[in-house]
Amino acid sequence: MASSAVQIVGFLLALVGASATIAATFKVEWKKEAQGKHRIYEGLWMSCSGTDRTTCEWHMSMIKLPIEVQATRALMVVSLFFSAVALIVSTVGMKCTRFMDNMPESKSKVAATGGFLFMLAGVLTIIITSWYVSKIIETYNSSHRLQSREFGSAVFVSLGGGFLTAVGGAFLSCQTFCRRRSSASTISSHLLPTTNPKSNYV
């Protein structure tokens, strides 16, 4: 029962993290710039600008986009793909589902695989978001300071989503590996010869 609860907690954490990653991928506020009262918001898919009312337009050409936007967009989509696959695999391998009930060992391995995919997706999200942040800082330091640049809320949502996804995947995988280690130690303890210090003589 405890192991099933750990799996559910890990799955829910990973699900919340993946949802945050989806929200961050399509948010506009990855980067904010201010030129007086005029504000510009740039995302991975569109950019918005204006003073009181903002107008948004989609990025029509990928070639004209900065390299950090192209790379971040591509790897965030890859991360979401891994999360989607992990969601399906973990659902099949969790103890609270009825899939593969006649194969408990294989079911446990499937759950661990889903956890590993969640961890991969989360780490990938954290890495590409951190790289995006470093490129923005590098661009800001090499340009003039007349424009006020800062990170948008999407950066923090992406980092939080990647962290939750990785932690949830670790819960799913660790539960399986810890159970294997405990079962292996139990088997080895049964195989050790036992000696009885007391003997009965007639």
Question: What pLDDT does residue 193 have?
Answer: 52
Q: Which of 171, 177, 178 is nearest to 10 (CA)?
A: 171
Residue 13 is encoded by which pair of tokens? Answer: 């954490």
Order of strands across the sheet that contains 38-42: 54-58, 46-50, 38-42, 31-35, 148-151
End-to-end C-alpha distance for the chain, whole angstroms: 49
pLDDT in tens, the chain (202 residues): 556 788 888 889 999 999 999 999 999 889 888 776 778 888 899 888 877 777 888 887 777 788 888 899 999 999 999 999 999 998 887 777 777 667 767 777 888 888 999 999 999 999 999 999 988 888 777 765 555 667 888 999 999 999 999 999 998 887 665 555 544 444 344 444 544 545 454 4
How far is 96 from 32, CA to CA, in rounded Å?
44
Residue 109 is encoded by which pair of tokens? Answer: 């391995």
Where does residue 185 rank: exposed (0-12), middle (13-18), buried (19+ CB within 10 A)? exposed
Q: Domains of the chain (ranges plus CATH)?
A: 2-30+66-183 (1.20.140.150)
For residue 89, count other CB atoms closer than 10 A to its CB: 20
How far is 171 from 175, CA to CA, in rounded Å?
6
Question: What pLDDT does residue 32 have?
Answer: 84
Largest separation between any pair of C-alpha atoms in the chain: 103
Indicate the pTM of the whole model.
0.80
Please report the DSSP string for the chain in residue order.
Answer: -HHHHHHHHHHHHHHHHHHHHHHHHH-STTEEEEETTEEEEE-SSEEEEESSSEEEEE---STTS-HHHHHHHHHHHHHHHHHHHHHHHHHHHSTTS-TTTT-HHHHHHHHHHHHHHHHHHHHHHHHHHHHHHHHHHHHHHHS-TTSEEEE-HHHHHHHHHHHHHHHHHHHHHHHHHHHHHHHHHHHHHHHSPP--S-----
